[in-house]
Structure 1
């Protein structure tokens, strides 16, 4: 069937009808029309409402006046378009995406390293706080030991005084016992009360030593979470790179 025959029979409006050829040859020769089983699909209707492969009978019956092209040429055009998009994937898109993927891998390493650094900063700060609390504790312990030394020193002084008084009392008693057992004499009659004995009749003050309990400070007040330091936040910033917009690859 040819253009002259169509025009002679006036079965269709004038349009270009061309034989099917393609650089893949016989691969299109096997395509037959589903409506006309014995006819091969030789053309392609480019009308927006159609966009389908047609045989010569279809052109006459349903596609009068439509923009009909040779199927081989349409095939080659589509194949060239697909090849162009395939090349774009190989030369532009894949390299870019692979580069971005490598950058993401590097980011994983970089973020993990940074997290470790900040964690060490927090641990160092916590150790300083522990060190400060330990230093305060040591100061309190030293103050407590000073209180102990002061109390023990006072107790030891009272003890020494008592031991000294006991020794003197025993000496005075010995003297008194000797006088009692001695022969009466004028010295005995004139003997007055021992002055030291009079002093010892006033006993040292009995001092009791007590120690207050440790009044612990409120831990929540001493170390409040919001006073420990800030909680670092990861900020996401889109880099100002001129990335090519991703577009549909398959039409």
Structure 2
């Protein structure tokens, strides 16, 4: 085998075969030792380019030609997009256009250098920075969730403490009742024992007199039986009854508190790190705070004007409007029951109690009435005040909004049955909380806040359980030029507050602290009035002029 073509042989000068030639002619493709460089350049019939062998084209690892064995591919066919050797040019690729394969090679190497620089200088540090941010987020996550758990545990301890106090108080009351009744029984027992002694003594006296046969003693005998025939009054002890309330887990959960649902936000990092749009600045478009939702059910009613809706169940709803008849419909629009007000007047508002009874206000008679087993019973009669709107609370109380007869004052009153438990009228500084106009729908939130849609003040007024003002909501700030017409109001399981904005044909959704979340629209919604939310988080809207109840899923 020719040693010049042996893979085991060292490279040699093409002119004198000197081993390991240090020079190379890129134009003639020959290896040269230093002694032969001058001789090679002496051939003036060709152009020459002498370079160190390490920088020559032959130092590159060319792809081998698939057609011509062992021939390096020094060209790239543009038409076929494949590397080719010099023999292919006049063979299968005749007439095609070519480019030097080293041009692509050098361009790729430059691209690789830029990529390497970007990876080392920009991208790796940025990924490491993001990794550090994640570590910080993880630490924050542990800390904040620890706080949440602590808050929940503390709330549980508070509840346990309150329950223990309630149990302790009830036990004390039971002990006191028992002591009083026991004292009565002991007193009666002493009386009976004393009478028994007197009767026994009379028996002994009579036996003795009968045995003596003493005429004078017998003649002076006076009977005491008439006195003994008057038996003492008997104390009949009646035992108290304990009437535990049914524990409803969902209501208990709502009263205990709930967690807000927070979306996991993602941060889009600056694309300038890719050195493509380094001169551009990105501007995030404003997201419109609105949600258009579809109707799940449209329940037509017979009212000319529909005011209020209240859920009896997820399948049945009570309604009232400009009619003395209150009507119960199912979701298919079938009329299930009709009840006329006791006075024949149009009801002011309706609500369904925790036990499923219908209550309604009668502004003209200044009363609040309850419908039980088809019979109407007056629960509350006001003096000097007109009843407006009503809701039933988690504890079974009733909240009633009312205006004074002189139209100068307005307040919310909490009732347990017919007993007034709380009156909410003024803020801390003595200013009225509510306007004196009509239409003040009221709802109790899961955190026990009392929420009033004050139409006359164009505001939603929220106070805590003690009646202290928490906040006023007067519409979304960016709609400051638009009037706010709050009418119906309700809350959901996340303590979010929903307010019907009647003349703007929309519903406002805010959180329990009064922060605006979004608007809710629907193509079937014209004038939203009364609102309620069922157990499946559907909102039901009494459409004033549309005369229908809309059922919508808003989450």
More strand by share: 2
Q: Deviations over 1:65-104 (max 9, x none)?
A: 62522x3343222222112212211111111112212222
More helix by share: 1
What pairs up with 1:134-145 in 2 under 5 angstroms?
134-145=164-175
Indicate the SS of the match to 1:219.
coil
Aligned to 1:184: 215
Aligned to 2:244: 216
Shift of 1:64: 3.9
Indicate the SS of the match to 1:40.
coil
In structure 2, runs of 5+ residues without a counterpart are 1-26, 29-47, 276-555
Contact 2:74 2:84 (C-alpha < 8 Å) held by counterparts: yes
TM-score by length of 2: 0.36
Pick from 39, 55, 75: which aligns with 1:43?
75
Contact 2:74 2:86 (C-alpha < 8 Å) held by counterparts: yes
Query: Partners in 1 of 2:61 and 2:180 — Cα distance?
Result: 116
In structure 1, runs of 5+ residues without a counterpart are 4-17
Aligned to 2:448: none
Query: Partners in 2 of 1:227 and 1:27 — Cα distance?
Result: 81
Pick from 60, 75, 88: which aligns with 1:28?
60
Aligned to 1:77: 107
Aligned to 2:229: 201
Pick from 131, 156, 159: which aligns with 1:101?
131
Query: Partners in 2 of 1:175 and 1:30 — Cα distance?
Result: 146
| Segment of structure 1 superposing worse, 162-171 or 238-247 | 238-247
Aligned to 2:257: 229
More relative contact order in 1 or in 2 (CA 8 Å, sep 6+)?
A: 1
| Segment of structure 1 superposing worse, 88-97 or 202-211 | 202-211
Pick from 135, 157, 164: which aligns with 1:127?
157
Aligned residues: 228
Contact 2:184 2:235 (C-alpha < 8 Å) held by counterparts: no
Q: Deviations over 1:13-58 (max 9, x none)?
A: xxxxx99x8747644266442222353322334x3x4443332223
Q: Deviations over 1:138-159 (max 9, x none)?
A: 2221121122111111110101
Aligned to 1:56: 86
Aligned to 1:14: none
Query: Partners in 1 of 2:215 and 2:153 — Cα distance?
Result: 91
Provide closer, same or farther for how the CA distance between residues 29 and 131 of structure 1 changes in structure 2, counting only shifts above 3 A. closer
**RMSD, aligned α-carbons:** 3.7
Query: Partners in 1 of 2:153 and 2:56 — Cα distance?
Result: 70
| Segment of structure 1 superposing worse, 226-235 or 26-35 | 26-35
